[in-house]
Structure 1
Amino acid sequence: MRISDHIISEIQSRMDIQEVVSDYVSLKKKGQNFWACCPFHDEKSPSFSVAPNKGIYKCFGCGKGGDAISFIMDIEGLGYVEALKHLANKYGIEVEEEEATPDQIKEFNEKESLLILLDHARGYYKQLLWEDDEGQAIGLSYFKERGFSDETIKAFDLGYSHDKWDGFMKYASKNGFTEEMMEKAGLVLAKEDGKKYDRFRGRVMFPIHNPSGKVIGFGARILKKADNQPKYINSPESPVYYKSNVLFGMFQAKQAIRNEDNCYLVEGYTDVISMHQAGVKNVVASSGTSLTREHIKLMSRFTQNVTTLFDGDVAGIKASMRGIDMLLEEGLNVRAVVFPEGEDPDSYSQQLGASAFKAFLEKNSEDFIAFKTHLYLKDAGSDPIKKAGTIREIVGSIAKIPDAIKRLVFARECSQLMDMDEAVIVAEMNKMLIEQGQQQQKERERQQTRQRLDLDNSGSATESSPDAAISTLEKPEVDPKMIQERESLRLLLNYGQFVIKGTEEVDQLLADYFLHETDEVHFSHPVYAQILDMFKNKLVDGDVIDADYVLKHGTEPMKKEVIDLITERHEVSHHWTEKFDIKVNSERNDLKGATYANIVRLKLRTVRAVIKENLDKLKTAETEAEQVEIMEHHEALKKVEMGLAGILGVVTVG
């Protein structure tokens, strides 16, 4: 189905890039823009910029950029239509769809189809829980016995699956879904003979949502005793569900995590739900899988502070230490809470009640170094060998922290807790940091070797010339003319509608003046040329386009280039003028001069490109007459070059 043009226009007029991005990333204002660590790649220092006045985002690290629609497409892995629907739902816009042609129907990609199917499954299991006799008697009764309220059950979309082999299959088939699609979504299984049956049978259902609320999979707990059945099963990985990327409860918790600036990390579904009901809503779970860097990256979109919750089992806590070390490596601030022996977040929250449980978490939360030191010292007792191992274990965690100041603070705390000379702790930490650096250097060398071999296999470089491979990777050839073309478009996009003193000091639009003066100059870069043509075509109608127009009507390559052109990584603080009375020159103060200089540079670099082409012809000239003609042309071009260079005060070689 196709969304009507007037609905698309309404969505574009209503969407706010800051609001949209804030659903996924904690933004901090700096100057006119907002900044954060990029959600699309790993980084420690923020290089991801959101410009509300321009309606765009741009990462100066990985290069991703776009408007609110493209952000949703990238962050959720959605197609254009589904991204529009997502934004329409956010802003309460009713989507009117036009009848699609057969070709348009085929364009619906696999992910969108799977998401639609999984949402139907969510509704099916939820309906069984609330309206079916079996669902009420078994599923709903179980949730009530766990102490879950109706409000909590509905907030997490909990459901129930019939104890039948094909209950869901029949329902989904009636609604037009194929068995192949059901299998791909992980909702049915196939026997050796090819016959399919429901994966989830006789279980309470825990839908797993992505951060925007789309159901991407399910966890399910069996309620009957069955020797050959595991207590919990999960959806298998699919094109929309990757266990290492998903945290259970993140959709329900993200706003609370942002508000509290802290994320509680637990193990299971019921831990999350019970804590949520107890009023602690900033909680997520890794859902039975080991913590991954993707999990940590997801949490860090909303906060830099994570508190891990453990039951009283020492062996289990030690097994989870790798996860804490990973959190530290990613630069997050880590605290921990240990529950009394035999208790977990689910049982203890219900035992204490909401207010007492919150008080317990606040009182018993301690930073990771104190937590780990107390835990390991208690286990080591008076054994000197174990104590030495404990010191190395704790210092090893400190060494993983990327911030040098934090490392030194924790080293001092460690020395005090363990009654040891701080210098000994620091020396051991520095030794570990050197070892880490050596390992990282070896890994970089291995990666460079792999890259050289890849280039060799593709014919781009040879193993005998590794420097050529590195040069190809790190030093791409830059075309001076294309750089000037890019600068020309930057001026047009930012100032095209400004009035300047143009030809013969007559008031002109900057775009009109520029295009008139460069009428015979042709852009080499194909995307730049498309944008310039868009300017020319609209100017014929008396309209001057801007970046917003290209972002709405241009192709994806055009949009990407425009975002790069109008996004500035640095901006001058207003304090320079307001507080310190320091005058900062701006190109806005002399747009005529900036435009004129750019026109001359563009012409100069265009002439130099023609000179190079002309000399290349000389190499292949077959007759003396051709050579004479080329040299005469060369001399004429050099005169033009020298004239243009003289205007700019640039020295040229004859």
Structure 2
Amino acid sequence: MITRETIDKVFETARVEEVIGDFVQLKRAGSNYKGLSPFSEERTPSFMVSPVKQIWKDFSTGKGGSSVTFLMEHEHFTYPEAIRYLANKYNIEIEETEVSQEDKIEANERESMYLVSEFAKSYFHDTLLQSEEGKAIGLTYFKERGFTSETIAKFGLGYSPETWDAFTKEALSKGYQLDYLEKVGLTIVREDGKHFDRFKGRVMFPIQSLSGRNLGFGGRILTNDKKAAKYLNSPESDIYHKSKVLYGIFHAKQAIAKQNNCYLVEGYTDVIQMHQAGIENVVASSGTALTPDQIRLINRLTKNITVLFDGDAAGLRASIRGIDLILEEGMNVKVCTFPDGDDPDSFARKNSYEDVIQYLENNAKDFIQFKASMLMDEAKNDPIKKADLIRDMVVSISKIPDRIKREVYIQECSRIMEISEQVLLNTLAQLIQKDISEANKKLKSSDNSEQKAFEVVKNEPQFTQEKVNIVFELERKIIEILLLYGNYEEQFEDVILKANDEGEVTEVVEKVDYKVFQRIYLSLQEDEIELANPLFRDIYNDLIEKYNQEEFNREHYFQQLSPEFAQTVTDILMQEEKEVLHNWETKHIYVKQKEQTIGQYVTETIISLREYLINKLIMDLMQSFTPDIPEEVLEEIKTSINDYNKLKVVLTNNIGRIRSTYY
């Protein structure tokens, strides 16, 4: 159990912009930061981080919260795991207790799978370094590859013994359940109940998530068994989806963001050797062809990818198909090939850091130049092949979503291939139109498949206007005011009834100083109004209680939002920050800030809520009219309606006097 003091220290130390910056490339936007959503597919930023409020908001999905809720959403951490992650990041001492057998049973399935995977990582690493078999076979192999002890420890490299069930036996003896060993793919269970290790006799490469959680493994066999695959990956599971994972991303993420470039290689050892050579912004596609999800993972950290290919040209043409996928995501891509017989692993091992960097800088080509240089040899003097090559290049250009970039590349292609720019533009237009037509056909086909032949379908309006819930919006405004301005002291107008010298009662307007939260609380108490929305009501009561404490720390409150409040509170707090995404100031449009007229904003919101509730009471009374209603009851209802209408006039006059531009 983590102590409250430790949790408080973590919250006081952790900076939301630093925590999220490890996963998302953030750029300054006024006093905030913005970036691409890590929860959805997008090319324009809708993700906002507020260092002042220490919260974040993803406008594309509606998610939001503190640094802890980000880790819980993005990495699927539990609350304690998020606290431990932050404590480790900021070198805060935290008491770790060993997971008991009872805890393992109670843990949910996903967490149990993570526990098993982490145990396996430790077991394989310890076996590599401490067992005679591990040192003689596994460690010798890694040393022959040139990996240092520091590198082996950094990447958690390991060894799985040649024995059929060495790992499974050890895991079961430690209390881990066979069911979870099977689900993460570490143990294979036969129909007769017998089980054996999937990675028997292999050196092990742990595969980690962006945050460092162990998801699965890659295992390389060291014998010449032709029946066994050279490399074997963990199967798909609830925690490991190889199409969404990049090998080395945990160790590379900071260097990628700092260098604003990512080197993409093919194998585990390519990544490790490049890291050891000092080039840390490098990842591999984890034993699968490059996928859109993997590209988007890089896109969160940088817009620039440099693909590194082996010197062996075999299969190169098939490999460069991934370039089109990168272009489709709106990213900038370069390609670099190594000399014949070399790959990133061997080249980095043979050359110094300076030489590798210089080679990459000198030989990285724009994708259009690379395609031209690679395919021109095939075309040579064959005009048909040359035409196919040009079309192939234009197809790649058509994948680029940005029109300006497309035109620039068309100009470059025209220059390299010595062909009319207009011809290329016409071809490009045809390709784009073809894509649009095919997309429309698919859309119509999917729509028509649900309709019967010759069925007459009534035309329905495409969009229906959603009815605004006025009470919800007004109550939301009250929570917003409390969150943003609750401790502000403002001058408010109070209407007081006083008798003059002649004994006549008149209204007198007096100006009184209140704290905003006090004014709201007193106003709602006066009218005996309770917020209708249950969540708003809970947040309101919590805030009033906090404000009544002598030292209410607003930033501390934002940081430690409870999970049930986090979503709603960040929705409200970050709504205004959404305007920053539009960069209105660059268009010479300036948004007025509510701080300039908080008193008006508060009074207007309260009166608007009162007015709405009175209208609702009047409507309810009017609906009670029936033909058989007794005369005395009818007169009583009419009197009530008349009184409410008089009150409405008073409220309307008040709103007219203090009406601002915000509602």
Q: TM-score, normalised by structure 1?
A: 0.89
Q: Structure 1 counterpart of 2:606, which letter?
A: I
Equivalent position to 2:517, from 506, 511, 529: 511
Q: Determine if the alignment matches structure 1 residue 570 to structure 2 residue 560.
A: no
Q: Summarize the Cα distance change of 1:641–1:99 in structure 2 as closer, same or farther, 3 Å threshold.
A: farther
State the distance in 2 between where 1:493 and 1:585 align: 19
Q: Summarize the Cα distance change of 1:533–1:467 in structure 2 as closer, same or farther, 3 Å threshold.
A: farther
Q: Secondary structure at the match of 2:60?
A: coil
State the distance in 2 between where 1:498 and 1:530 align: 22
Unaligned runs of 5+ in 2: 495-509
Contact 1:494 / 1:547 at 8 angstroms: preserved in 2? no
Correspondence for 1:198: 197
| Comparing 223-232 and 62-71, the one that deviates more | 223-232
Correspondence for 1:158: 157
Contact 2:35 / 2:45 at 8 angstroms: preserved in 1? yes
Q: Secondary structure at the match of 2:604?
A: helix
Offset of 1:632 from its aligned partner? 4.5
Offset of 1:616 from its aligned partner? 4.4
Offset of 1:98 from its aligned partner? 7.9
Q: Determine if the alignment matches structure 1 residue 467 to structure 2 residue 474.
A: no
Offset of 1:604 from its aligned partner? 1.8
Offset of 1:180 from its aligned partner? 1.4
Contact 1:511 / 1:544 at 8 angstroms: preserved in 2? no
Q: Summarize the Cα distance change of 1:120–1:637 in structure 2 as closer, same or farther, 3 Å threshold.
A: same
Q: How does 1:408-419 map to 2 (within 5 A)?
A: 408-419=407-418
State the distance in 1 between where 2:513 and 2:480 align: 21
Q: Determine if the alignment matches structure 1 residue 272 to structure 2 residue 271.
A: yes
Equivalent position to 1:481, from 461, 467, 471: 471
Offset of 1:264 from its aligned partner? 0.7
Q: Structure 2 counterpart of 1:496, which letter?
A: G
Q: Structure 1 counterpart of 2:46, which letter?
A: S
Task: Give deviations 1:342-388, integer Å, cap 9, x for gaps.
Answer: 33222233344443222221111011111112222222222222211
Contact 1:337 / 1:365 at 8 angstroms: preserved in 2? yes
Contact 1:216 / 1:241 at 8 angstroms: preserved in 2? yes
State the distance in 1 between where 2:637 and 2:393 align: 75
Q: Summarize the Cα distance change of 1:152–1:437 in structure 2 as closer, same or farther, 3 Å threshold.
A: same
Q: Summarize the Cα distance change of 1:550–1:335 in structure 2 as closer, same or farther, 3 Å threshold.
A: closer
Q: Determine if the alignment matches structure 1 residue 552 to structure 2 residue 560.
A: yes
Correspondence for 1:498: 488
State the distance in 2 between where 1:599 and 1:499 align: 17
Offset of 1:129 from its aligned partner? 1.2
Q: Summarize the Cα distance change of 1:140–1:394 in structure 2 as closer, same or farther, 3 Å threshold.
A: same
Equivalent position to 1:606, from 592, 605, 613: 613
Q: Secondary structure at the match of 2:520?
A: helix
Correspondence for 1:259: 258
Contact 1:31 / 1:573 at 8 angstroms: preserved in 2? no
Offset of 1:592 from its aligned partner? 1.8
State the distance in 2 between where 1:223 and 1:105 align: 35
Q: Secondary structure at the match of 1:342?
A: coil
Offset of 1:551 from its aligned partner? 5.8
Offset of 1:284 from its aligned partner? 0.5
Offset of 1:623 from its aligned partner? 3.3
Q: Structure 1 counterpart of 2:460, which letter?
A: D
State the distance in 1 between where 2:349 and 2:12 align: 46
Q: Summarize the Cα distance change of 1:391–1:524 in structure 2 as closer, same or farther, 3 Å threshold.
A: same
Task: Give deviations 1:605-638, integer Å, cap 9, x for gaps.
Answer: 22233334444444x7863556665555444433
Offset of 1:36 from its aligned partner? 0.6
State the distance in 2 between where 1:278 and 1:395 align: 37
| Comparing 514-523 and 95-104, the one that deviates more | 95-104
Q: Structure 2 counterpart of 1:500, which letter?
A: E
Task: Give deviations 1:235-270, integer Å, cap 9, x for gaps.
Answer: 111221110111001111111111211111111111
Offset of 1:415 from its aligned partner? 0.3
Q: Determine if the alignment matches structure 1 residue 116 to structure 2 residue 122.
A: no
State the distance in 2 between where 1:341 and 1:463 align: 66
Percentage of pairs with the same residue: 39
Contact 1:148 / 1:277 at 8 angstroms: preserved in 2? yes
Contact 1:551 / 1:559 at 8 angstroms: preserved in 2? no
Correspondence for 2:500: none
Unaligned runs of 5+ in 1: 454-461
Q: Secondary structure at the match of 1:336?
A: strand
Correspondence for 2:542: 534
Q: Structure 2 counterpart of 1:510, which letter?
A: V
Contact 1:621 / 1:627 at 8 angstroms: preserved in 2? no
State the distance in 2 between where 1:5 and 1:447 align: 55
Offset of 1:598 from its aligned partner? 1.9
Task: Please tell me the root mean square deviation across aligned C-alpha atoms, in Å.
Answer: 3.1
Contact 2:295 / 2:326 at 8 angstroms: preserved in 1? yes
Q: Secondary structure at the match of 2:615?
A: helix
State the distance in 1 between where 2:367 and 2:259 align: 19
Q: TM-score, normalised by structure 2?
A: 0.88
Contact 2:11 / 2:559 at 8 angstroms: preserved in 1? no
Correspondence for 1:94: 93
State the distance in 2 between where 1:85 and 1:572 align: 32
Offset of 1:146 from its aligned partner? 1.5
Offset of 1:420 from its aligned partner? 0.7
State the distance in 2 between where 1:497 and 1:522 align: 21
Q: Secondary structure at the match of 1:3?
A: coil
Correspondence for 1:384: 383
Higher relative contact order (CA 8 A, sep 6+): 2
Q: Determine if the alignment matches structure 1 residue 639 to structure 2 residue 629.
A: no
Offset of 1:446 from its aligned partner? 6.4
Q: Determine if the alignment matches structure 1 residue 287 to structure 2 residue 294.
A: no
Q: Summarize the Cα distance change of 1:554–1:234 in structure 2 as closer, same or farther, 3 Å threshold.
A: closer
Q: Structure 1 counterpart of 2:152, which letter?
A: I
State the distance in 1 between where 2:342 and 2:98 align: 56
Contact 2:202 / 2:221 at 8 angstroms: preserved in 1? yes
Offset of 1:63 from its aligned partner? 1.2
State the distance in 1 between where 2:178 and 2:89 align: 32
Contact 2:273 / 2:348 at 8 angstroms: preserved in 1? yes
State the distance in 1 between where 2:211 and 2:562 align: 27
State the distance in 2 between where 1:138 and 1:294 align: 36
Q: Secondary structure at the match of 1:57?
A: strand
Contact 1:186 / 1:199 at 8 angstroms: preserved in 2? yes
State the distance in 1 between where 2:456 and 2:5 align: 57
Contact 2:33 / 2:48 at 8 angstroms: preserved in 1? yes
Q: Secondary structure at the match of 2:20?
A: helix
Correspondence for 1:307: 306
| Comparing 179-188 and 314-323, the one that deviates more | 314-323
